[in-house]
Amino acid sequence: MGYTLAEKIIMRNTKRSSVTAGELLNVNVDKVMVHDIFAPFVVEKFREMGFEKVWNPDKIVFVYDHLVPTSFIEDFRHHKIADAFAAEQHIKAVHRADGVCHQLMPELRYVVPGQVVFGTDSHTTTYGAIGSFSTGIGYTEMAAIFGTGQLWIKVPPTLKFTIDGELPNGVYSKDIILRILGDIGADGGTYKALEFGGSTIKGLSISSRMTLSNMAVEAGAKVGLIEPDEKTFAFSGVEGSQFQDLKSDPDANYEKVFHYDASNFKPVVACPSNVDNISDVEALLGTKIDQGFIGSCTNGRFEDLEVAAKILKGRKIAPFTKLIVTPASRSIYAEAAKAGIIGILVEAGAIMNPPACGLCCGRSGGIVSDGERVIATNNRNFLGRMGSPKSEIFLASPATVAAAALEGKIVDPRKYL
């Protein structure tokens, strides 16, 4: 019998020759990420559990991103506690203003293929895009890992998504994952592994793959995995020959297999206020919007800013419309500035936010008021996510958001591409 990619990574980690979906086992944790919101709680629990020394300071990464720059007087307390703990425990990887955690972890190669990684954030699933079994956990579990280097997991069953063919112009990985979420529902992947494969996925950049894995958790999934290939190895700076086991077997035991023909995909939008409330963009044409948001760990990468600039170049966003742009990391910001992309966006009327979480979780930089309607590239459109619970959020690709900001209403981005 063959194995799924999730099972292969767990077998590699535990040095076992077989595992079965549903089985409980301990994994050896390769890397952990703790962001600023939860750092004080992890520290508190760590002490409460009676631990004195972390199991391995080199396997711990602290990222300050949700509270950067600080919006409230109390925010700094989180950074102070984390700084003191990092100094005490000799944790050297502390990122104080370098970007969103899920961008930094793969970008800075803290995570590489085949690893088992946990983070105190639900979108830790993002690193599945480079073939890492990575998922979000709570701060008590994280404190236990800090002390022991281990965590128990249940081997998840896998839903396989095979997508073949060429994506039409103006259609992106964001449209793929939104369509899948619409098809399986926001609870359709609960505690399962989603595995994305097929020629379309092979053709995607690592950035686009990250969008898929990032949103796997919006279906409740434990992980969102993509088989590592030459692109992954180059991105992660590793020798591919060491990872040949990270392939799912043709006779693997999948709970269900879904087949998609990429040429049928269209630009889609998740309507308020659930990620699985999916509509073709064509059905929403003319819907007035007050604000666009391009950014987050879902779609704040170079290619996302690039496509927005392509649409906005030499044009101005609609009167009375705001466009907020948040690059996912400092290096993406710098690269986009060098390429002239930031200049184009600013000329068009965009407001640039620092590379952090900010507006994505409704903490700073463009909080919306009663009655405002936002179209955004992030991953959640729950009530009140970006401010007032009386506002509305639509989720879409960067191209769809840029085109909407240009016209002040939802339009088909394909006319600009």
Ligand X SMILES: CC(C)[C@H](C(=O)O)[C@@H](O)C(=O)O
Q: Binding-site residues for [4Fe-4S] cluster, please?
A: 297, 357, 360
> Is 37 or 42 the residue whose CB approaches ligand X more closely?
37
Given ligand X, ligand SF4, none, residue 100, with its beta carbon under 5 to 8 Å by kind, binds ligand SF4
Q: Would you count residue 357 as binding ligand SF4 (CB under 6 A)? A: yes
Query: What number of other Cβ atoms are within 10 A of residue 323's Cβ?
Result: 26
H helix or E strand, kind and range, residue 404: helix 398-407
Q: Binding site: what residues are annotated? A: 297, 357, 360
The full DSSP string for 301-367 is: SHHHHHHHHHHHTT--PPTT-EEEEE-SBHHHHHHHHHTTHHHHHHHHTPEEPPSSSGGGGTSSSS-
Scan residues 282-301 and list those touching ligand SF4 (CB under 6 A).
296-297
Scan residues 111-150 and list those touching ligand SF4 (CB under 6 A).
121, 123
Given ligand X, ligand SF4, none, residue 37, with its beta carbon under 5 to 8 Å by kind, binds ligand X
> Is 31 or 66 the residue whose CB approaches ligand X more closely?
66
Q: Would you count residue 379 as binding ligand SF4 (CB under 6 A)? A: yes
Q: Would you count residue 222 as binding ligand SF4 (CB under 6 A)? A: no
Rg (CA), the chain: 21
> Is 102 or 174 the residue whose CB approaches ligand SF4 more closely?
102
The full DSSP string for 173-241 is: HHHHHHHHHHHH-TTTTTT-EEEEESHHHHHS-HHHHHHHHHHHGGGT-SEEEE---HHHHHHHT--GG
> Would you state the structure tokens that stand for residue 409, as one six-digit string?
């209403």
Query: What number of other Cβ atoms are within 10 A of residue 373's Cβ?
Result: 18
Q: Provide CB contacts within 8 A for 244, sequence distance 6+.
A: none
Q: Which residues bind ligand X (CB under 6 A)?
A: 37, 66, 121-123, 136, 361
Scan residues 38-97 and list those touching ligand SF4 (CB under 6 A).
66
Query: CB of residue 328 vs ligand X: minimum separation in angstroms?
Result: 13
Q: Would you count residue 360 as binding ligand SF4 (CB under 6 A)? A: yes
Using CB under 6 A, list all residues that contact ligand SF4: 66, 100-102, 121, 123, 296-297, 357, 360-361, 378-379
